[in-house]
Amino acid sequence: MAVDLEQALQARKARHATFEGLHYHLFSDDCPDVPRGTAVFDGQVVYGYPRIGRILALNPALAEQFAGPFWMEEKVDGYNVRITRVQDRAVALTRGGFICPFTTDRLSDLMDLSVFDSEPDLVVCGEVAGPDNPYLESSAPFVAADVQLFVFDFMRRNQAEFLPHGHKHALLERFGLPSVQDFGRFVPDDLDAIRTILRDLNGQMREGVVFKEDGPGGRRAKYVTSNSSISDIRTTAYSILELPPEYFISRILRLVLFLDEQRLGRPNVLDERLGAAFMDGLAEALRQFHTERKVYHTFRCRFRERRNAQHMVSHLKRAATRHVHLSQRSLRREGDYWVLEFDRVYPTLNGLLQQLLSGGLMFD
Amino acid sequence: MAVDLEQALQARKARHATFEGLHYHLFSDDCPDVPRGTAVFDGQVVYGYPRIGRILALNPALAEQFAGPFWMEEKVDGYNVRITRVQDRAVALTRGGFICPFTTDRLSDLMDLSVFDSEPDLVVCGEVAGPDNPYLESSAPFVAADVQLFVFDFMRRNQAEFLPHGHKHALLERFGLPSVQDFGRFVPDDLDAIRTILRDLNGQMREGVVFKEDGPGGRRAKYVTSNSSISDIRTTAYSILELPPEYFISRILRLVLFLDEQRLGRPNVLDERLGAAFMDGLAEALRQFHTERKVYHTFRCRFRERRNAQHMVSHLKRAATRHVHLSQRSLRREGDYWVLEFDRVYPTLNGLLQQLLSGGLMFD
């Protein structure tokens, strides 16, 4: 094992964690050759999913980033997981390397786990998306209820590389695993075909794509639609005070550049939707503040096991900050599932509204 | 004189300044009983113009702020000046207490200075507004060219109080001084009449109003239209990276509250205009970056005296920061005037665009 866990622990770049009696370590920071999110189970390393750089304009960035052909796959609006089997049970790791109680609980609903009988050291990398998830307000438009998994890569334990494209598709097919849409193989010159696909995705309110060079160490780049940028702004209205101005500016710029690239001009409807993205959230926050004196967003997700819902609440409470509080609403049986409802409460926005609406004078 | 200049100088809350051989001191910070912007000429004190608190909703704030009647005057989108005569010459002070070379140069165009023959210790408080000003990108819509003065208060030297409303109007009339529009006297119960005036102002893209209780120490409050909030966002697109997120949030909230108050619902056109406010500036910045490799805004203003234009450039260069640079374009004769053109250049936004558009990968 090339991973120096002891040194990372001493440097406080790694920490110990447990889940249902399973002890493991995770890298909370990048270390040399070990990305943040890497988890270690009894000396078995599940490498962190590497960050993928973004391009803001297909032309000239595609030609600059890729010398030859690359695959183009859909980027799904959800949260990243790595799924593997340790000590005879399948677990799902978050981007940060924690075992996610929710995803782990629902794994049998998300995929055929028998893949691990044939491939015990496989690490399945994918996105979990859907309205009933515990992390994100936004969701891929093509998942109408609950959550679904969309696999986009495979790794093996103790290896940081991804399996090649052909091998990936063979495994996906053989085990009938759900995957992201693969738009095929392109070269940088195929700009028109690539733009057409992205225009369609944008029209369907889908997030964007990832370009992947095949082979070990192949380059990757992501690119998102203008509607995805608007959706980002809409869903972060509540934590707007915690975000740097760059967050909004870079999204508005992405949006302007997408229109440029697509030669779409500046349709009025886009201005309208950007304005609405800023206004909707704050108008809703104001309504909540007037009627309930707190600004919050309610999340709902369902579990097979009651205790996993409780683990999830503990996990989220530990991750809460002074900017976002967590408050459980209910946990009740519905058919075969336990349905958890909880609120994320936003004290900073609440405080600002209180100050603004006190009827007193504001000096700004 | 109640002003302890020596102590303020020692505490570095006051400083020395000169303009054309005229020596004076100004308070760069608030001190006990002496607001920031107060200037002292040979022991003669011109008190700083006090900050006016903002209300965000007429109901219930008007009733909470005002026990009895108050005057309602237009708030003009411009920059605040105090004009007085010292050592036989009229000078205009900025909000911060500096002699403004531009406004001082143009005083004879802005008002009849003979008022100071009859009232030598008068301090004329007003707003200078118009497209050809050296400070602001935005401007009151009813000033089509150059700049105009709109008087809204009088003080006397060595007195921090304003002259009463009746006295003010007598002086305005007697000397034919240009003034802000006075909408009359109201009580908090006149909500409907007040709202109607504000709806009209909003429709005319005008900024808002100031409510003023009559008499010494009378309370004051300002209130702005939704279109003024959108205009603020539009004109700050270039310095967006220097502003805290609260800047935008509070304006969007003001806007939502204005619509609420006016029972205007959420017209789509408003969403569209808010979106455009964010997009226009950045799209323009992008265009500048593509064609000229710098992001800037050009200001133009005209002077009677060439040397005052040079004083103005020096004044602005001293006030420049690492976020905003100043670059003179031209100074040339046009008829009776010297026309100065200069750019405000925005290196932070420029740097972000450079980074975003390099064609490289962005990790965010």
| pLDDT at residue A2, as a whole number | 65
What are the chain A neighbours of B250 within 8 Å (beta carbons)? 352, 356, 364
| pLDDT at residue A141, as a whole number | 95
Answer yes or no: pTM beyond 0.95: no
Q: Rounded to whole angstroms, how far apart are CA atoms B227 and B223?
A: 12
| pLDDT at residue B136, as a whole number | 94
DSSP, residue by residue, B96-153: TS-B-HHHHHTHHHHS-TTHHHH-TTEEEEEEEESSS-SS-S---TT--SS-EEEEEE
| pLDDT at residue A148, as a whole number | 98
- Per-residue pLDDT tens for B146-191? 999 999 999 999 999 999 999 999 999 999 999 999 999 999 999 9
Q: Do B357 and A51 touch (CB under 8 A)?
A: no
Max mean pLDDT among A250-259, A294-303, B233-242 falls in: A294-303
Looking at CA atoms only, how far is residue A273 from chain B in angstroms?
7
| pLDDT at residue A281, as a whole number | 86
Q: Rounded to whole angstroms, how far apart are CA atoms B3 and A363?
A: 24
Strand order in the sheet with A122-129: A89-94, A79-86, A122-129, A148-156
Looking at CA atoms only, how far is residue A261 from chain B in angstroms?
13
Contacts of A168 (CB under 8 A, 6+ apart): A153, A154, A162
Q: Which of B278, B287, B348, B355 to mutate to test the interface with A (most CBs of A within 10 A)?
A: B278
Is A126 a residue whose pLDDT tops 70?
yes
The closest CB to that of B245, out of A240, A250, A260, belongs to A240
Asked if omega into A347 is within 30° of 0 (cis), the reply is no
Q: Rounded to whole angstroms, how far apart are CA atoms B131 and B124?
A: 22
What are the chain B neighbours of A352 within 8 Å (beta carbons)? 246, 249-250
Q: Which residue has the higher pLDDT, B27 or B356?
A: B27
3 state SS of A258: helix
Please write down the long-range contacts of B243-247, taking CB distance under 8 Å and 24 or more positions apart. B243/A245, B244/A245, B245/A240, B245/A241, B245/A243, B245/A244, B245/A245, B245/A248, B246/A241, B246/A352
Is A73 a residue whose pLDDT tops 60?
yes
- Per-residue pLDDT tens for B272-307? 999 999 888 888 888 899 899 999 999 999 999 999
Is B202 a residue whose pLDDT tops 60?
yes
Whole-number percent of chain A with pLDDT over 90: 75
Q: Quick one: average pLDDT of B74-89? A: 97
Is B321 a residue whose pLDDT tops 90?
no
Q: Do B249 and A361 touch (CB under 8 A)?
A: no
| pLDDT at residue B2, as a whole number | 65
Question: What single letter denotes the amino acid at residue A151?
Answer: V
Whole-number percent of chain B with pLDDT over 70: 99
Please write down the long-range contacts of A28-32, taking CB distance under 8 Å and 24 or more positions apart. A28/A96, A28/A97, A31/A4, A31/A7
Q: Which residue of A has its CA nearest to B356?
A: A56
- Per-residue pLDDT tens for A244-272? 777 888 888 888 889 888 887 777 888 99
Q: Which of B272, B280, B288, B352 to mutate to test the interface with A (most CBs of A within 10 A)?
A: B272
Closest CA relative to residue A132, chosen from A142, A117, A143:
A143
- Per-residue pLDDT tens for A176-203? 999 999 999 999 999 999 999 999 999 9
DSSP, residue by residue, A2-38: ---HHHHHHTTSEEEEEETTEEEEEESS-BTTB-TT-
